[in-house]
Chains A and B, each alone.
Chain A
Amino acid sequence: MSPRPQHWLLHPKLSVAVRIALGLVFIMAALPKIADPPGFAKAIWAYQLVPANMLNPMALVLPWLELFCGLALCFGVWIRAAASWITLLLLAFSLALSINLARHNPVDCGCFGATAHLTDSERLTDMRWSLLRDVALLLLAAQIFLATAPRKN
Chain B
Amino acid sequence: MKLKNILGILLGGNKVWFYVTFLAGLALGLLIKQKLPIKFKEDVDIVPILQLIVTLIVALLITHYGKQKADENRAEKDLIIEQLNDCRTKCREVFAEFSGCCDEQQANAEQQKRLKQGVRDFSNHLYAVRRLIEHSGNPAELVKQHEELQSRYYTFKARITDLNGSNAFTNPATRNSAETAWRESDNQLTKLIIAVNRF
Chains A and B bind each other: no
